[in-house]
Amino acid sequence: MLKRLVPTIIFTLHIIFSTSAQIETSIIEAAHAYARAQINSDVESILKFTYPGLIEQAGGYESMKNTWKKIQQNQIEKGIKMQDFKVQEPIQHTRSNGEVHALVPVVTTSKVPGGRLISESVLIAVSDTGNDNWFFIETTSIDEGNVGKVLENWDGTLVLPFKKAPVFKEDKK
C-alpha cells in the first residue's frame, strides 16, 4: 500500500510546485510589463494592469485616466521621473474566493531634484485564473485595515508588510 502511495504523493507535490512556479513566472512577466508602462508613463498600459475595482471606485475608466495624467503632470512639474522599477523575490500568493492574490515586492528609483529616491513597496497582484491576466494594486495608501475596501475578496491569508520610508540618495557634486 505504501509503495503505491509514495509515487502518488510525489506526483501530486510535483504538480503543486509546478503550478506555483507557473503562477509566479506569470506574475513576474506581468509585473515587468507594468513596470515598463510606469517608466514610460504609458497611461493606457498602466490602466490595462489596474485592478478594475479601483477604476470603478475612481469613477470609471476616463476618470481614472485623467487622474493618472494629473499625477504624471504633477511629477513632471516637480522634476520627478521614475528611472527604475525592479520586481523582487519572493512572491507570496494564495487563492481567495475564486481569485489568486499575490504580494509582489518592488523597488522603484526616481530621479528627483538633487538626487534619487529609492522606495521599497509591495504590489498586490490579482487574477481570476492565475494565468496571464494580472491586475495590480499599489499599496502606498493601503494597509491591513482598509485593503478589503479596495479588494473585496481579500481574506487576510497574506499579510501586507510594514511600509518602509523612501531613501534619498543625494547627487554627488
What's the distance, CA 36 to chain centroid? Answer: 13
Domain 2-170: give its CATH architecture.
Roll (3.10)
Q: What stretch of H or E contains 86? A: strand 81-87
Q: Is 14's pLDDT higher than 50?
A: no
Q: What is the predicted pLDDT for the residue at 96? A: 87
| The three three-digit cell numbers of residue 143, written as one number | 494597509
Q: Is 59's pLDDT higher than 50?
A: yes
* DSSP code of residue 160: P
pLDDT digits (tens, 9 = 90+) for 31-50: 999 999 999 999 999 999 99
CA 127/CA 104 separation, integer angstroms: 13
> Would you give the end-to-end CA distance of the chain in angstroms?
73
pTM of the predicted model over 0.85: no
Mean pLDDT, residues 124-140 taken together: 87
| The three three-digit cell numbers of residue 63, written as one number | 476618470
CA 74/CA 16 separation, integer angstroms: 45
Give the least confident one: 14-18, 80-84, 104-108, 162-166.
Answer: 14-18
- Compare 33 and 98 and report the one with higher pLDDT: 33
